[in-house]
Amino acid sequence: MNTVCVTTERSAVGMAREVLSLFKLRIGFLIMITAVVGYVATPGHASVFQVLVMALATLVASAAAGAFNHYHEYRSDRLMARTRTRPFASGSLPHHPAWLLLFAGMLLAAVAAAWQVVNPQSAIFVFLGAFFYAVIYTVWLKHRSWTNIIIGGLAGSFAVLAGAAAADPQLGPLPWLFALVLFLWTPPHFWSLAIANSEDYAAAGIPMLPVVFGPQRAASIVFASTVALVVASLLPAAFGAGPVYLVGAAAGGAWFILKSWHLKQVQNRKTAIASFLASLVQLNAVLVAACVDAML
């Protein structure tokens, strides 16, 4: 009897982990943080409750879009070593249309909460972030064009705008500049990872940048994109962001440029992953510096 109970408990825990893994919560928390930074960096006011609802709405909407990506891409995921163990791809969770009701319900609840508690502008940006990732990127562009991640990158930009709109629906130049930074960050971040996993994408027939143009040209584009990103990340200093932000953006940007330059010189998994990780350092430097600067 005890053995049966323990086995059942382990199965339930394992199932819960599989379901949670659908929602790409690491990415979701990062997107939520960008929304909070958008709020902190924008002059204005909202109650603590409104900020909390906005942050959770952004997280839930992102989770719904991420889970839909798992659901829609389960066949392609089976063809790639990096993704073949995902729940729908591996069969550990049934690929049933009922999941779509859950994901749609999550998105509807997130948008409705933001609309009622925060304001309509913030709610619209919450919706657009999920829509661009789930529909524009996943359904429309991912298997059609190497530009997929460029346009799909707008998902992160909308999170910044959702946070900024919670503080002030009349958006000034600073939140738009931070949205631009997120938009320019996504391509070199993702393309670095794509170079590291180009064989996977080729096997799945997904036209990511290194598959279409080859790793050498892709690495050159990553480097040029990184330089453009870093230049854009310094622009907020001319529109209200202070010296702490400028130092953080410059330091994080210099590190990303260095690693993307190494990738441009030598294309292998080690340099590609190093560039990918440097993109995370750069983004976190920008986000942390923006928060510290706003609180000083």
Query: Tell me: domain 27-169, CATH 3.30.420.250, correct?
Result: no
Residue-level pLDDT at 45: 83
Question: Architecture of domain 172-296 in CATH?
Answer: Up-down Bundle (1.20)
Q: What is the DSSP letter of 141?
A: I
Q: For 32-74, give the DSSP string.
A: HHHHHHHHHTSSS---HHHHHHHHHHHHHHHHHHHHHHHHHTH
Q: CB of 35 within 8 A of CB of 163?
A: yes
The domains of the chain are located at: 27-169, 172-296
The separation between CA 31 and the C-alpha centre of its own chain, rounded to angstroms, equals 6
* Residue 87: CA count within 13 A, CB half-sphere: 22
Q: CB of 177 within 8 A of CB of 239?
A: yes
Task: Give pLDDT < 70 ranges for the chain.
Answer: 1-12
Q: CB of 126 within 8 A of CB of 110?
A: yes
* Rounded (10°) angle between helices 25-40 and 154-167: 40
Residue-level pLDDT at 73: 96
**Distance separating alpha carbons of residues 283 and 268, to the nearest angstrom:** 23
Residue-level pLDDT at 11: 67
| Strand intervals (E) in 144-270 | none
pLDDT tens track for 222-235: 999 999 999 999 99
- The pTM (predicted TM-score) of the whole model is 0.93
Q: CB of 223 within 8 A of CB of 263?
A: yes
Contacts (Cβ under 8 Å, ≥6 apart) of 238 = none
pLDDT tens track for 135-171: 999 999 999 999 999 988 888 899 999 999 999 999 9
Q: For 212-265, give the DSSP string.
A: HH-HHHHHHHHHHHHHHHHHHHHGGGGTT--HHHHHHHHHHHHHHHHHHHHHHH
Supply 179's token pair.
């949205």
Residue-level pLDDT at 107: 98
